[in-house]
Amino acid sequence: MTRLARNLQTPHDPAAACEAELNGQRLIFDPLGALVMPDHGLLCVSDLHLEKSAAYARRGQMLPPWDTLATLRLLEAVIARHNPSVVVSLGDNFHDRRGADLMPGEFRSYLESLMSGREWIWITGNHDPDGVGTLSGTQADSLHFAGLTFRHEPGAACEAGEVAGHLHPAATLVRRARGVRRPCFALDARRLIMPSFGVMTGGLDLDHRAFNGLFEKDKLTAHLLSQGRVHSFAYKALRG
Evaluate whether residue 218 is within a structural domain: yes
Q: Could you give the 3-state DSSP secondary structure of residue 230?
A: strand
Evaluate whether residue 9 is within a structural domain: no
Measured in whole angstroms, the distance separating CA 120 from the mean position of its chain's CA atoms is: 15
**pLDDT of 177-226, one tens digit each?**
677 899 999 999 999 999 999 998 989 999 999 999 999 999 999 999 99
String of DSSP letters for 117-128: TSEEEEE--SS-
Q: What is the pTM of this model?
A: 0.91
Evaluate whether residue 233 is within a structural domain: yes
Expressed as residue numbers, the domain containing 162 is: 20-237
- The pLDDT mean for the chain works out to 89
CATH code at position 44: 3.60.21
Phi, psi of 109 (to 5 degrees): -65, -40
Domains: count for the chain: 1
Evaluate whether residue 50 is within a structural domain: yes
